[in-house]
Structure 1
Amino acid sequence: MNPNHHKPILLTFFTLLLLQLLNPINASPSPPITALYAFGDSTVDSGNNNYIPTLFQSNHPPYGRSFPSKLSTGRFSDGKLATDFIASFLGLKPTLPAYLNPSVKPVDILTGVSFASAGGGLDDRTAMMSLTLTMDKQWSYFEEAVGKMKSVVGDLETNRVINNALFVISAGTNDMIYNVYDHVLGSFISVSDYQDYLLSKVEAFIQRLHDAGARRITVAGLPPIGCLPVQVTLGTVTIPRIFHHRICTENQNTDSRLYNQKLQKLNFRLSQRLPGSKILYLDIYTPLIDMIKHPRKYGLEETLKGCCGTGLLEAGPLCKPLSRTCEDVSKYMFFDSVHPSQKAYSVIATYAIQKLFPLL
């Protein structure tokens, strides 16, 4: 008798047994996500900077030209941010409002708001230089928001909302640009040491969130910083012969990848250390670099210049109402020299939904 005859049957049996162990029928599914709370910089700021005295504002045209009613909300894009698309996908609300917006009522906070501030970073000095909200200040607004929620629905329901909410942290790019590449604030000993310093800030913030009851936390990595139009411009200015041939600054992209690897390891360590929590890495590098390498796949024509003005340097106050803008922004990966277009944000959100949500 052939001894291999029973092997396929045994293999099938063990496979079914393994699946049964991994997916027991009585395992309770994760409760639905109750709210979305965002912290960080312009990538998730839906207009908080409109209500603080800073130059880092985008509550004027041409910002918002693709937003409903062409409203310039204070989002640094022509339209929605990735967090808006995610809030909509989760069925929470069509867009994620800014916490400081006076029209946001305590009941609105129960399904999510953004506490983020454009121009800020994980390093307090970054936000102080741009006169924007530090992570500490964003945290104090979150604590204030929790108090408002409790006044509306009580402690028990507020705790349930926080336990089942999705928290997004997106910051670090401004820190790297100001402190390492453009030397606005001087520099740390090395790029690697400065990254470790930023990651220690991420760790402390996640610990704070966990202590407050957060259990689903996603942390965005860095984008390919060397491909931001402003960094491409600054990188090619020093080499006049390639000024007209725009290319990404590769060492900055290498730094971003290194940071992202460290962040993934940190998230894994924290997930193991903090009971009952899911701390996930939100990869924005991969979808952005894919758009740059394969623009046609996404219907893009321009990936290294912004739609606003010359597309080389303009952002925030320099991207003005009278600035010349591109005709079809959906063909542009960046709206200004730093910030993705609504089209790019929708790609990032779709990527996040496909990769992260099965894990949540």
Structure 2
Amino acid sequence: MAAHTGRFSNGKLITDFLVSSLGLKQTLPASSDPNLTVADLLTGVSFASAGSGFDDLTAGTAGVVTMGSQVHNFEEYVGRLREGVGREKADGVVKSAVFVIGAGSNDLIMNYYLTPLRRVSFSVDEYHGFLLQKMESFVQRLYTLGARKFTISGLPPLGCVPIQMTINTVTALMKTGSFTRLLGPRVCIDQQNADSVSYNSRLQALINRMESSLEGTRFAYVDIYNPVMHMIKNPGAYGFTHTSIGCCGSGMIEMGPACNGGSCADTSKYLFWDSVHPSQATYRALSDQLMQSLLSQLTN
């Protein structure tokens, strides 16, 4: 986590750029911030918890807030908003608000690929189904609380995340006893990328079903996979010179709080901030693409 940002990055996230582009505020504050005013609540807050996921096991392992607790925090937000501006206006704000949902990567990386916590009980397809069922339940709970507009992000190419490439390289080294692979070029893991594509396809089908079954809703699927792959294959178009390692530390294994100290000279040259999370430059590029299609999908 970069010092003073409160985010697992060196600066702003996609949601920060979105609220800034809409002229609402420069960054999206946490709902738990004790200094929030009613005016702050009216223009958006974040209920997210870094390190969490659709699977409660993910949050439990990381010691962070579960998705269920995030919904509970949203319920408290609605109550506070009603107290501040009245039920009718508060409910109108919730109905017109855009709910940005992005999870799943932590679940697969932490529970399936790095450690076999879920791999002993699920095939990867079964685990995808488990996560999507959790996500659907999450959306339905928000719907009962008045939410009507949703953007839901798919998975990025998980096989190209630096820590995944590092673990794959070390595993190959342990099997062969040769340093050739360790010292060679870092390459994405095709099977994990294929897993991401499969999950995203099922997610899009589920989004279509939810929009049909939940009256009055609008959904926008946010494609993260293809834009990130384009950045990896065409780094120069985005000003990147490093796409397979992160900026902080060695860039190959450190993530989150372990990245408080030491970083590269120019973070804008790196697609990843640490070994898992994108840099501010990447989030900016993703938000620019998202803004081009988001509003039309939710308002047409």
Instruction: Give the alignment's TM-score, normalised by structure 1.
Output: 0.78
Structure 1, unpaired ranges of 5+: 1-57, 65-71
Counterpart position of 1:350: 288
2:265 is paired with a residue whose SS is coil
The structure richer in helix per residue is 2
CA contact (8 A) 2:102 2:152 kept: yes
Aligned partner of 1:153 in structure 2 is: 85
Q: Does 1:256 align with 2:196?
A: yes
Describe the shift of the 1:88–1:320 C-alpha distance in structure 2 as closer, same or farther (beyond 3 A).
closer
> Do the aligned residues in 2 keep the contact of 1:329 with 1:341 (CA within 8 Å)?
yes
Q: Hey, what's the Cα distance between the residues in 2 that align with 1:103 and 1:229?
A: 37
- Deviation of 1:318 after TM superposition, in Å, equals 1.6
Question: For the Cα contact (< 8 Å) 2:153–2:223, is it kept in 1?
Answer: yes
- The letter of the residue matching 1:94 is Q
CA distance in 2, matches of 1:314, 1:130: 15
What secondary structure is seen at the aligned counterpart in 1 of 2:151?
strand
User: Is the 1:120–1:126 Cα contact (8 Å) retained in structure 2?
Assistant: yes
Which stretches in structure 2 are left out of the alignment for 5+ residues? 174-179
Aligned: 1:75 with 2:7:
yes
Q: Please tell me whether residue 269 in structure 1 is matched to residue 209 in structure 2.
A: yes
Provide the aligned C-alpha RMSD in A.
Answer: 1.2
Task: Supply the distance in 1 between the matched residues of 2:122 and 2:67 (Cα, whole angstroms).
Answer: 23
Structure number with greater CO (CA < 8 Å, separation at least 6) is: 2
The residue type paired with residue 52 of structure 2 is G
Question: SS of 1:122's equivalent?
Answer: coil
Would you say 1:247 and 2:191 are equivalent positions? no
Q: Tell whether the 8 Å contact from 2:71 to 2:142 is kept in structure 1 after alignment.
A: no
Number of the residue aligned with 1:330? 268
* Residue 196 of structure 1, CA deviation: 0.4
Asked if 1:195 corresponds to 2:132, the answer is: no
Q: Partners in 1 of 2:161 and 2:122 — Cα distance?
A: 24
Larger radius of gyration: 1
Structure 1 stretches of at least 4 aligned residues deviating more than 4 Å after TM superposition: none
Contact kept? 1:218, 1:279, Cα under 8 Å: yes
1:1-360 aligned within 5 A: 58=1, 63-64=2-3, 72-187=4-119, 188-240=121-173, 241-244=180-183, 245-321=185-261, 323=262, 325-360=263-298
What SS does the corresponding residue of 1:238 show, helix, strand or coil?
A: helix
How far apart in 1 are the matches of 2:197 and 2:23? 33
Q: How many residue pairs were aligned?
A: 290
Match of 1:26 in 2: none
Tell me the amino acid that sits aligned with residue 190 of structure 2: E
Counterpart AA for 1:346: R
